[in-house]
Structure 1
Amino acid sequence: MQLQKQGIRVFGISESFASRDWSVLCGVVMRRDLHIDGFCFGKVRVGGMDATAEIIRMTAVLDRQDVNAIMLNGCVIAWYNVINPVEIMEITGLPVICVSYKDSEGLTGHIRHHFPGDEERVRRYENLGERLSIPVKTGLSLFARGYGCTEQEVRHLCRIFTLHGKIPEPLRVARLCARTVMQQTRTENSPIFS
């Protein structure tokens, strides 16, 4: 990854869910200078195991050769829909960075409680690996895991894209867009959930 490039682009993906069944995903392509030059949307089942396939599909639909990395707002979304970042990296050919914001002792116990006997979900979660604590220029810290990139690259990308608080801009914008789409679907019975 050429981090010195001014035109480095990240595909940031975040979710919003208020439905019992579906969660909306939004992907935002953002350059290092914070220009936005692409969007796409998807949906995953709440409590499902389809997030990995949907993120791969969104990346393929986006069809951008100029994206340098995928940044995800967490590795576990939509009520324990556990993402496999290694599979995303291998299929898309792009490094993947999963960002989270709170210290945690882990989710294995919660997964076993809510999904008894689902050892595949537990295994996928436990294979995610350790998170890095990354102080950003706002004086706060976030947590991140990187796949297909070095620890230095993970730290650098998180720092250059985090301007306020501790949420990197591509993820903050994607979350706002996903939330807006979710609100629209609740008020207009959009076919996105049919």
Structure 2
Amino acid sequence: MVKQFIRALGVDDTSFQLRADAYTSIVGAVYRGRGILEDVLTSIIEVDGLDSTEKIVEMIKGSKHLNQLRAIFLSGITFGGFNTVNIKELYQVLKIPVIVILEKKPDYERIKVAASRTKNYDRIITYIKEAGEVTPVQTSKGRIYIQLSGSNINNALKLISLFQVNSKIPEPLRVAQLIAKIFKRENTLIKSS
């Protein structure tokens, strides 16, 4: 059984201008249960770089929430263009289940073509393969697609449903997306917290 007031983190990225911005920000929203926003974490990542996994780890380890978090929800595995999160490494380092939430199934052929234009193509493809199958799941709020590290589908579904309020997207991730959109409109780089 999953406790009602556990904490989870949702992570999304802010926008950037292609070929103009070298860096962009990631935003993390820490929630306790489905209704209490406890903290907002930020970090800066390189556009199309290889530091998103490291920056998420640093963001969490540098917060007071490291030993409190029971799940990390990611809005996909790529941030800042093709700065791809290694979800296996993220789980191995933090020992917190990683649940990637997608609203639609990725088109991997298009992703491979786009990624081939980056300097880190081989690493990107490796991380995508290591992230495992994208699994469709039905929640009480609607169908989503997930990838997992450190959890099985049953436990992931319990965590997802615990944090769903009015959307199929878990609240920590939904709020991280909303906060990131503010900075997308302002085109602002957020200083690391």
Fold shared, TM-score > 0.5 on shorter chain = yes
Q: 1:127 to 1:185 in 2, by over 3 A?
A: same
Give the corresponding residue for 1:32. 33
In the aligned structure 1, how far is the partner of 2:64 from the partner of 2:93? 13
| 1:119 has 2:122 as partner | yes
In the aligned structure 1, how far is the partner of 2:166 from the partner of 2:176? 15
CA deviations on 1:122-167 (whole Å, 9 max, x unpaired) are 21222211012122222x2111111111110112212222223332
In the aligned structure 1, how far is the partner of 2:45 from the partner of 2:96? 21
Give the corresponding residue for 1:153. 155
**Which has the larger displacement, 141-150 or 97-106?**
97-106
Q: Aligned match of 1:108 in 106, 112, 122?
A: 112
Q: CA deviation at 1:79?
A: 1.0
CA contact (8 A) 1:46 1:81 kept: yes
CA contact (8 A) 1:137 1:163 kept: no
| Pairing 1:60-71 to 2, within 5 Å after superposition | 60-64=61-65, 65-71=67-73
Q: Aligned match of 1:73 in 75, 92, 116?
A: 75
User: TM-score when scaled to structure 2?
Assistant: 0.86
Q: CA deviation at 1:25?
A: 1.0
Q: CA deviation at 1:37?
A: 1.2
Same amino acid, percent of matched pairs: 22
Q: 1:192 to 1:117 in 2, by over 3 A?
A: closer
Q: Aligned match of 2:97 in 80, 95, 103?
A: 95
**Which has the larger displacement, 17-26 or 95-104?**
17-26
In the aligned structure 2, how far is the partner of 1:39 from the partner of 1:116? 31
In the aligned structure 2, how far is the partner of 1:166 from the partner of 1:23? 26
CA contact (8 A) 2:43 2:190 kept: no
Q: 1:160 to 1:108 in 2, by over 3 A?
A: same
What amino acid maps onto 1:29 in structure 2?
V
Give the secondary-structure state (helix, strand or coil) at the position aligned to 2:62.
Answer: helix
In the aligned structure 1, how far is the partner of 2:181 from the partner of 2:107? 28
What amino acid maps onto 2:140 in structure 1?
K
Q: CA deviation at 1:180?
A: 2.3
CA contact (8 A) 1:145 1:154 kept: no
CA RMSD of aligned residues (A): 2.1
Structure 2: runs of 5 or more not aligned: none
Q: CA deviation at 1:105?
A: 3.1
For these two proteins, the number of residue pairs brought into alignment is 186
Q: 1:47 to 1:153 in 2, by over 3 A?
A: same
| 1:143 has 2:141 as partner | no
User: TM-score when scaled to structure 1?
Assistant: 0.86
